[in-house]
Amino acid sequence: MLELEENSRKAGLVTWIELNGKNMTGRQWADYFNIGTNVINTAIRKHGLNKAKELILAMLKDPPSTKQRKANQTWFSVYGIQA
C-alpha cells in the first residue's frame, strides 16, 4: 500500500493541500489528525477543496481528539461547517 501511495504522489495523482506551512496529501492530513484515511479525500470529492481546507483549519485549531462524533455524524457537522 505504501508503494502505491508513493507512486501516486510521484505521478501527481494526488491533491496537495498546503495550510499553516504544512504541505500534505489528504491521506497525510487524515493520518496527522488520526482520523479515517479517506476523510479528507472524500471531503474534497464531495464538497470541493475549499471546504476540505476549511475543515482542516478547524481541526488544526481544535483537534478531532477533543471532539465527540456520533456514528451518523460528519466531521463537517461536528465542527459546525455547512457542507
Q: Cell for 51?
A: 471546504
| Residue recorded with cell 456520533 | 70
Classify 41 as helix, strand or coil: helix
pLDDT value for 10? 58
What are the backbone dihedrals phi and psi of residue 22, each rounded to the nearest 5 degrees, phi first? Answer: -110, 135
- pLDDT confidence of residue 14: 85
pLDDT band at 11 (very low <50, low <70, confident <90, very high): low
Report the candidate in 34, 40, 64 with the shortest Cα–Cα distance to residue 52: 40
pLDDT attached to residue 9: 55
The predicted-structure confidence for 14-60, as pLDDT tens digits, reads as follows 899 999 999 999 999 999 999 999 999 999 999 999 999 999 999 99
> Residue 5 above 90 pLDDT?
no
Residue with cell 476540505: 52
